[in-house]
Amino acid sequence: MSKRNKLEKFADLLEFPNVFESFQFKSTKLTRTPTEELEMAGQWNATQFLNSNPIVLELACGRGEYTLELARRYPQNNFLGVDIKGARIWKGASIAKAEGLQNVAFLRSRIEQLELFFNPGEVSQIWIIFPDPFKKDSQINRRLTSPIFLEKYRRILSSDGFVHLKTDSDLLYEYSLETINNQPGVELLHFNEDIYAGDLPHRDLDILTYYEKQHLEDGRTIKYLKFRLR
């Protein structure tokens, strides 16, 4: 992707009514279109979706393939894809706009700042699809199932909310299992180290992203965890 192409996409994002961007570290303010700077915690349904439906997040959403397909399947829910990469979000936001998906929006921000943009209990589910496993020991705290992130999820999830993890990484899967089992107030609801070896443990695991198709062609097994934060 050329630098010019990226710059054009970044400019487009500023005009998209379904994209919110964080430009200031630790600020609760988000930009939507060049003229709007909004405080969205507790306001997603009132300001963006114009309904009271449950909110579902996809973290590190990339091009938003999972976000988009879930939104198509469940029009009774609202979906937000979260990623820091603007060129990736541009793809998902463009498709949502072209298809007229009113229950989809995208948040361009670092996931470390997630709790700035949601009130306690505002989110009903979180999907984490093929995140970076951060293989080095020095990067453990950057894994999206590390205790640091689990506490962030706990603050924004509803009392009956839960988290899904889908990964091809043995390292991340084993690390997540160990963390969940050792972290107070975290309840493991399901785990499966090869989801395609039998019946799918969750019906929406049949959504295949670009990267999962590559992983399957390489013969990798796909793993799944579902857990709740009390």
pLDDT tens, residue by residue, 50-68: 999 999 999 999 999 999 9
Query: What are the tokens at 139?
Result: 């990067």
Reported confidence tier of residue 211, pLDDT bands at 50, 70, 90: confident
Domains defined along the chain, listed by start? 3-229 (3.40.50.150)
Q: Is the pLDDT of residue 2 over 70?
A: no
Reported confidence tier of residue 168, pLDDT bands at 50, 70, 90: very high
Task: Judge contact between 167 and 131, C-beta under 8 A.
Answer: yes
Reported confidence tier of residue 130, pLDDT bands at 50, 70, 90: very high
Query: What are the tokens at 176?
Result: 């997540």
> Quick one: pLDDT at residue 4?
58
What are the DSSP E strand ranges found in 60-219? 78-83, 104-108, 123-129, 157-167, 186-192
Count of alpha carbons within 13 Å of 227, Cβ hemisphere only?
Answer: 27
Given 132, 170, 194, 206, the catalytic residue: 132
Residue 132 is among the residues annotated as catalytic for this protein: yes
Q: What is the pTM of this model?
A: 0.94
> Quick one: pLDDT at residue 220?
92
Residues with Cβ < 8 Å from 26, sequence gap 6 or more?
A: 113, 116
